[in-house]
Chain A
Amino acid sequence: MALLSISSPHTKGPQRTSILMRWVIAMTIPGLIAQTIVFGWGNLHNVLWCSIIALACEAIILKIRQRPLAVYLNDYSALITGVLLGLALPPFAPWWVSFIATAFAIIFAKHLYGGMGSNPFNPAMVGYALVLVSFPVTMTTNWATPLSLVEQAPSIPETFAKIWNEIALPDALTGATPLDTYKHEIAHSLSDEVFQSPVFGRFYALGWEWVNLAFLAGGLVLFALKVIPWQTPVGVLLGLAIPAIILGWDADQSAPFMLHMLAGATMLSAFFIATDPVTSSTTARGRLVFGLGVGFFAYIIRRYGSYPDAFAFAVLLMNFAAPLIDVYTQPRTYGHTKAQRGQKAKERP
Chain B
Amino acid sequence: MLSIVLTAVVALLGLALVFGILLGFAAVRFKVEGNPIVDQIDSLLPQTQCGQCGHPGCRPYAEGIAAGEAINKCPPGGEVTIQALADLLDVEAPSLDAEHGEEKPKTVAVIREDECIGCTKCIQACPIDAILGSAKHMHTVIASECTGCDLCVEPCPVDCIDMVPVDKGLAAWHWEAPKPLNIIATDSASYHGADAV
Contact = CB atoms under 8 A, between A and B. Distances in A.
Interface of A: 7, 12, 14, 16-19, 66-68, 70-71, 74, 115
Chain A contact residues, majority secondary structure: loop
A19 B195 CA distance: 9
A71 B185 contact: yes
A338 to B, nearest CB: 29
B175 A71 contact: no
Interface string B160-192: 000000000000000100100010110001100
10 contacts: A7-B175, A16-B194, A16-B195, A18-B195, A18-B196, A18-B197, A19-B197, A68-B189, A71-B195, A115-B182
A262 B13 CA distance: 63
A326 B196 CA distance: 32
Nearest to B182: A67
Chain B contact residues, majority secondary structure: loop
Contact of B197 (A7, A16, A67, A68): A16
Contacts of B175: 7
Given A7-B175, A71-B189, A66 B195 contact: no
Contacts of B185: 68, 71
Contacts of A19: 197
A68 B195 contact: no
Nearest to A19: B197
A19 B196 CA distance: 9
A68 B196 contact: no
A17 B194 CA distance: 11
B184 A68 contact: yes
A68 B182 CA distance: 9
A67 B185 CA distance: 8
Given A67-B182, A71-B195, 20 more contacts: A7-B175, A7-B178, A12-B194, A14-B197, A16-B194, A16-B195, A16-B197, A18-B195, A18-B196, A18-B197, A19-B197, A66-B184, A67-B184, A68-B184, A68-B185, A70-B190, A71-B185, A71-B189, A74-B196, A115-B182
Interface in B98-126: none
B195 A74 contact: yes
A19 B184 CA distance: 22
Residue with the highest number of chain A CB atoms closer than 10 Å, among B175, B190, B195, B197:
B195
Contacts of A16: 194-195, 197
Nearest to A114: B182
A319 B175 CA distance: 35
Contacts of A74: 195-196
Contacts of B196: 18, 74
